[in-house]
Amino acid sequence: MLTRRSLIAAAAALTLSAGAAGAQDWKAQYPELVFAIIPAENASGVTERYTPLMNYLSKEL
């Protein structure tokens, strides 16, 4: 007889395995990430401020 604990564990395992499969192909589905910034200063200030973030995201993603 199945207990509530084993049913919950099976549901959690099924959910996690489906999530892992979906996490593998997100890069193929979204080949480019667009990060838009509304500038509140001049263009060179925005470029200087967000270049490190762009470099980090380029390496990590």
Tell me, what's the pLDDT at 52? Answer: 93
Is 51 a member of any domain? yes
Q: Is the dihedral angle over the CA atoms 8, 14, 20, 22 positive or is it negative? A: negative
Site of tokens 């990060």: 35
Is 45 a member of any domain? yes
Site of tokens 């509140």: 40
Give the predicted TM-score (pTM) of the model: 0.44
Domain ranges, residue 45? 25-61
Structural domain count, the chain: 1
Is 32 a member of any domain? yes
pLDDT tens string 4-60 = 788 788 877 767 666 655 566 777 777 787 878 888 878 888 888 889 988 998 888
**Closest to 57 measured CA to CA, from 39, 33, 31:** 33
